[in-house]
Structure 1
């Protein structure tokens, strides 16, 4: 690309070379660290899946890759061998596999730093803990079960971990990494627990003053330099503010509260000390395991949510290079953060899962081609929580790059495939089939593509759902996929299609209630599409994901909202939902002023609202409109017609099983990628 052309592209300054500490980077973009679950050999080295994963992002234009955290050996934590890569479990193997990784990444003029962690402490999950007593700086409550009190780490155990970092420094340098990022005085991990007085009640040299509480972190960076040399760059993942109201209780955005963790003033003081100890750059976010929806922000958090805190840190300590994350995929937001010096590098984590080519596409001025991250966190955090495997909801090939390229059709295997339904399952299937050289023909009964995601994307915080639909529309157009809108499919269409295979992606039908005569009763999908027509008092029957998101959206419009839920709490029964998203939405409902009636049964509507039975007593909830959000059932009645026509078929997405966007996309991808190989 010529210089003159590049300067005409938007935000060309983001793609100019820069320096973070002593590391020269070709642009202002870093790949944020994400837990490398599924990336380890049994001996703690990198497997081929990991090498392809990071290499793909380097090829996609990232300037600096920060690996997911590789825990050094910490017997007090007891992380099982082979769960995640470990530079000290088998240093020789780690060095060998890391050489393959670093040399391939460097081939794309990208830099790569190894993120190495001291341990989990009180936030270690029960699955990893395996029945042992968790450790912490002091005898404090275990994050996942406050009835369990953590055991205080001994000085000998602390020194053992420090020694592991000396080994890690030597291994990382020899393996070709461009530096180490220590994990972490952030998010409430072990080093952070030592640094925060709320967690650290020690009276020895590792407790008391801020300098003492940071001693563990200081000894770690000194040990790395002892192993790798004083000129080897060491960064730190750092949270200048914890957002903790109490053990296990986080704060809402904009809420006035008393910080019991690290406040911003102490965060600034700690940053100065940490840099004086030898950390040359800070990778900044906000939050903790006690306020997890800050450290792992769902779509309910604002874009660029960490920038205001990073800016305070930058203004107080302008000489400290900062890497800033937090829903920063908007290049305008990124450019503003770098222009005023707040961020040296912009960190993209989940957006690189959704689209490994995001930086290259932005540099070409083709934001319209970027597959958006929808911040559902179901494929990344959710899969890590439940299955110890990093994936992505909208990109089924994330962490499966070894399966590229997709098998291509030839003259013998090429098929004409009729796809019935233009939701995300049908669109993903059409996209993949077209990429493979098959001929998909997509029929959609309504006047646009997107299915129920159109309605789901109406709240202000779900704009990326609509962006995903737009991305699919562009992909199908560029691939030349034949699309028929306003085209219901029946037996005649099936027989006349000439299809070799049929994919039934007809979605689902909402469950409905007969509530008699009275105020209007509207199904949730229709309500989301026309929220202004619902009036100023709305009752929502059903406190699942859809009902709660609609309630928050209506509150933004000033509507009085009551949720009527048959179970004992909201969000008890719905499609899969990762912990951070579940926790934030659960907390947002009361914070935004939504009234919730639990263990309640909707009886019937009247001219004044909804009659509800609560604890055996009937009460009237005033409403101008009642909305039903009580789930859905698969819609696959065409299956009989396809069988009768004798055409091979598959049912995908909600038509097979009502779930969420991730499972619909994965269904469409799986069938389309394997059909007629």
Structure 2
């Protein structure tokens, strides 16, 4: 028995939960043909095996054909889902965890031009800004049909072995009925609060008639939209009481805010640089007002905050969803008193931003998440110990060092700088992104525990590497900024790194030409504007900063709009000339014969990196494989066995930006999948 508040059991109706930690419903977009197949199952099983009490699947499993999946959602309107759900629930139950699913009708929170091309529906014609589609104003027969669809979906999930369901209201069709901002219906479903709630209670009654009184049914909803004219806190508390008093539900899962814009979504689900657990006190108010089982999740990334949430009685179950994307073994490490070994969620939001752009959810620094069928969360020891030399202590090099050390190899790392981190050290200089350094700190801590030997302030030449008598050499030297993209005047520009590092002082009238579209361009622009410069960010593309993605863009825009930063799309910088103490920037366009000029005192270019690969090519002739990697072996997780030079004494590989400019996740993924087979 443990006195830890997080490890205390909890009884929800008849369901015994082994602790107070849960994963709230979220859609990682791993479904295949709308079904939760092998990868989807493996993802949740990994977390169940590690001790989580309750894992909730499928943020927004859709109940109707006109609820068009926005990001590879599960289709619970199909009978075939029962089979796959049963496989999923059986596998999770084998490891002692409970499992539920969230079901919904998205209403206007989707688009019509996919799947069956059916019009989307809502209680008004009001467009949701995030999805930009205009809905049909819902009719009586739509309401009857959707109520029946909810009941059918609930019955399928009960048949599939789920311990319960969560009906999603927040931002979706149910909430669109609740909010005065989106409900323009007449009685009986529009007008006063009682009428606006009628559709929700009709849905819940239909579900109860179908699944009975014992099956667990909860609801995720907003208790305060935080929008002028929307649901306020007083109405939210009133709704909470009505939900409890209805006798139709078994738990409340409360959030605060709105999700119809990128900015609103980011406030509801905060990212790095924003306050931790910003809505926990509000959830506690709902719990105190209703005295009813209450769940909550919103940037609760660390064990201490989660422990406080339970110990203080603010909630009954605490959601650590993105934290479990970063480290599925949180509960196991708490039980084993190894909290220092928990891989931290750094709030980069690579996971959510990817699904909102149509991809699968991946953690920026745990490449095994979302790849549970091919990549390990726990590293196995190698049969034979080898000497591995790694050059570069950025995220990719440190991951390779950690994994090789976990394999039992003797690992030596050379780093030219006086501390680890590589490009992430630059990134973390932004106060909003300083959490990113935890990617480095965690790996350094793990490497030190595993006995990895580090040599800092050491620009490793080939003779230094060879003196170690390595059997494997991994070059993870990263890249350097590439600014030579102009027909004239390349010597007159600075790089985004120059500005971020402080090596070049900000000008007063600055053109930032950003065709890489990543964080570095915006980070440099923000530094310039904060220093008082007049800044124009220019890109040749049709949108700016596409690699930053939606929710990460929000804090940048909030800052830079206040600083009057201008953004210009579809124009390309071609050359820069000096004119006295000014610079003349010539601008054209890929779209036609357009010529413009800008008179500025500084030009900053963000054009990605070129590999720092001199060492790699110097070592290549002496290596046994001449640096070649078998892609098939890499993908399949098999050891690299190519031999080009039988006289070579070591294998040579390179990873991350030492190969080509990519991103942090790619570098770490390179390190894991290469090193796990050494």
| TM-score (normalizing by structure 2) | 0.82
Supply the distance in 2 between the matched residues of 1:91 and 1:452 (Cα, whole angstroms).
Answer: 44
Cα-to-partner distance string for 1:85-136 (whole Å, 9 max, x where unaligned): 527522651453244234224x2xx33222222x222222467456543332
3-state SS in 2 of match to 1:141: coil
User: Given the alignment, which residue of 279, 288, 306 partners 2:279?
Assistant: 306
Pair 1:671-2:664 in alignment: no
Q: Does structure 1 residue 210 correspond to structure 2 residue 200?
A: no
Q: What CA distance in whole angstroms lies between the structure 2 residues aligned with 1:563 and 1:418? A: 44
Residue 397 of structure 1 corresponds to which residue in structure 2? 368
Could you say which residue in structure 1 is the equivalent of 2:260?
289
Q: How do 1:183-332 residues align onto structure 2 when only pairs under 5 Å count?
A: 184-186=168-170, 188-244=171-227, 259-277=228-246, 278-285=248-255, 286-290=257-261, 291-314=264-287, 317-332=289-304
Give the 3-state SS of the residue equivalent to 1:122 in structure 2. coil
Q: Which moved more, 1:68-77 or 1:439-448?
A: 68-77
Contact 1:71 1:84 in 2 (8 A): yes
Residue of structure 2 equivalent to 1:595: 565
Q: Is 1:137 matched with 2:129?
A: no
CA distance in 1, matches of 2:541, 2:244: 46
* Structure 2 residue corresponding to 1:549, chosen from 523, 532, 541: 523
Task: Go from structure 1 to structure 2 and tell me whether the alpha carbon gap of 1:659 and 1:298 turns closer, same or farther (over 3 Å shift).
Answer: farther
* 1:501 and 1:647 in contact (8 A); partners too: no
Q: Deviations over 1:44-96 (max 9, x none)?
A: 65323233222221232322221223625412235599852527522651453
Structure 1 residues 652 and 134: alpha-carbon distance in aligned structure 2, compared to 1, 3 A threshold: same
Q: 1:503 maps to which residue?
A: 474
Query: For 2:225 and 2:258, how far apart are their aligned partners in 1?
Result: 4
Distance 1:262 1:71 in 2: 25
SS at match of 1:466: helix
1:252 aligned residue: none
CA separation in 2, counterparts of 1:553 and 1:265? 41
Residue 57 and residue 569 in structure 1: after superposition, are their counterparts in 2 closer, same or farther (change >3 A)?
same
Using a 3 Å threshold, how does the CA distance of structure 1 residues 281 and 660 change in structure 2: closer, same or farther?
same
Deviation at 1:655, TM superposition (A): 1.6
CA deviation profile, 1:158-206 (whole Å, cap 9, x unmatched): 3233223333444444544332111x111x2222222222222122522
- Counterpart of 2:655 in structure 1 is 652
User: SS where residue 580 of structure 1 aligns?
Assistant: helix
Matching residue of 2:320:
348
Shift of 1:377: 2.3
Question: Does structure 1 retain, via aligned residues, the 8 Å contact 2:42–2:372?
Answer: yes
Name the CA distance, whole Å, in 2 between partners of 1:571 and 1:454: 27
Other structure's SS at 1:194 match: helix
Distance 1:516 1:130, change over 3 A: same
2:19 paired residue among 15, 21, 27? 27
Post-superposition shift, 1:354? 0.6
SS in 2 for 1:564: strand
> Which position in structure 1 is the counterpart of 2:609?
632
Per-residue CA shift, 1:346-389, capped at 9, x if unaligned? 211111011011233245553321111222222x2243234553
Determine whether 1:48 maps to 2:34.
no
Provide the residue aligned with 1:114 in structure 2. 101
Structure 2 unmatched runs, 5+? 588-594, 628-652
Tell me, in whole angstroms, the C-alpha distance in 1 between the residues paired with 2:511 and 2:598: 17
More displaced 10-residue stretch of structure 1: 344-353 or 384-393? 384-393
Displacement of 1:325? 1.2
In 2, Cα distance between the equivalents of 1:554 and 1:666?
33
In structure 1, stretches of 5+ residues that fail to align are 245-258
Q: Which range is displaced more, 82-91 or 330-339?
A: 82-91
1:37 aligns with 2:13: no
Alpha-carbon contact 1:168-1:227 (below 8 Å) kept: no
Contact 1:540 1:627 in 2 (8 A): yes
What is the deviation of 1:665?
A: 1.1
SS at match of 1:84: coil
Q: Distance in 2 between matches of 1:99 and 1:357?
A: 19
Q: Is the 8 A contact 1:20 1:344 kept in 2?
A: no
Q: In the alignment, is the contact (CA less than 8 A) between 2:394 and 2:476 conserved in 1?
A: yes
User: 1:67 is paired with a residue of what secondary structure?
Assistant: strand
Distance 1:305 1:562 in 2: 34
SS of 2:103 mapped into structure 1: strand
Counting only pairs closer than 5 Å after superposition, residues 500-579 of structure 1 correspond to structure 2 as: 500-511=471-482, 524-525=496-497, 527-528=499-500, 541-542=512-513, 545-549=519-523, 559-567=531-539, 572-573=544-545, 576-579=547-550
Q: Distance in 2 between matches of 1:125 and 1:417?
A: 51
Q: Distance in 1 between matches of 2:78 and 2:605?
A: 55
Q: After the TM superposition, which of the residue ranges 347-356 and 451-460 deviates more from structure 2?
A: 451-460
> Structure 1 residues 580, 53: CA separation in 2 closer, same or farther (over 3 Å shift)?
same
Residue 452 of structure 2 corresponds to residue 449 of structure 1 = no
8 Å CA contact 2:302, 2:323 repeated in 1? no
Superposition deviation, residue 451 in structure 1: 0.8
RMSD of aligned C-alpha atoms?
A: 3.7
Alpha carbons of 1:80 and 1:618: their partners in 2 closer, same or farther (altered >3 Å)? closer
Corresponding position: 1:15 with 2:15? no
* Count of equivalent residues: 629
Q: Secondary structure at the match of 2:538?
A: coil
Q: Deviations over 1:7-58 (max 9, x none)?
A: 5xxxx32332345566543332211222042245x5x653232332222212
Further displaced range: 27-36 or 464-473 = 27-36
Deviations 1:429-463 (A, max 9, x none): 22222333444432211122211111211222223
Could you say what secondary structure the match of 1:402 adopts?
coil
1:160 aligns with 2:150: no
Instruction: Determine the structure 1 residue equivalent to 2:665.
Output: 662
SS in 2 for 1:506: coil
Counterpart secondary structure, 1:671? helix
